Amino acid sequence: MIQPSEFVERWAAVNAQANPATQSRLVRARENQFSACKLPDDGKRFLIEAGLPESCAPFLTFEEVGRGAPRLWDVYSPGQWTPEQKTRVANYLMIGGDGGGEAICLDESANGAVVLVLSETLFSKPSFWSRRSPIMVEHINASVPQLAESLLCYALFMQKVLQLGYSAISDILPSEPCRHLEAELRAIDETAFAKGSFWDSEMADLKRRAK
């Protein structure tokens, strides 16, 4: 598993190769911000010593790391949450967001796993036709270090794609970098490819465009 110092060094190298307009600093947390959080020590240490990119591909931001991973009710409509609503999301500490406005969180009830909290179904109830509870979260990575290393691999993938004359929004992408990225992401964290997970969906889209 990647260590904080190694990630900082490798992210700096990636930034050095990037266009100045796309360079992204690392956002770190302060040590005292996690004193009351139920997170594994390696995850807390990573956010304090290395941090995560302020913004990066694929359309992710991690500005809330600098705020100490606040509760969702402190970010969205503060003061308007009922006690029942707070209970529903009490396990989630927000560290960032995706391009669709969903919150990227650490799940205290799952040993600090990184998840995407889906606002559309967050407070939904089972329909008349289905007794299944709506899916509230989408798995991203099992830990913060694995998330960081996955983001680093994706950044290197994007550099390769750009070097070959493509872009993040190209309808067609080169197949070999896509295959290499999937192999790297699986090696970092096999749990990231559970059906319906963030990285599983992301790779499905890339492979659909790969020629």
Q: Is 174 helix (H, G, I), strand (E, B) or coil?
A: coil
Q: What is the pTM of this model?
A: 0.91
pLDDT of residue 41: 94
Q: Is 69 helix (H, G, I), strand (E, B) or coil?
A: coil
pLDDT of residue 21: 67
pLDDT in tens, the chain (211 residues): 899 999 999 999 998 887 776 789 999 999 888 888 899 999 999 999 999 999 999 999 999 999 999 999 999 889 888 998 888 889 999 999 998 889 999 999 999 999 999 876 565 454 444 444 455 889 999 999 999 999 999 999 999 999 999 877 788 899 999 999 999 999 999 999 999 899 999 999 999 998 8
List strand residue ranges (DSSP E) for the chain, in order. 26-27, 52-53, 55-56, 60-61, 92-98, 103-107, 113-117, 137-141
pLDDT of residue 123: 54
User: Which CATH number does 4-162 carry?
Assistant: 3.40.1580
pLDDT of residue 129: 43
Bridging pattern class, strands 113-117 and 92-98: unpaired
Domain regions of the chain by residue span: 4-162
pLDDT of residue 56: 95
CB 103 within 8 A of CB 119: yes
CA distance 154 to 125: 35
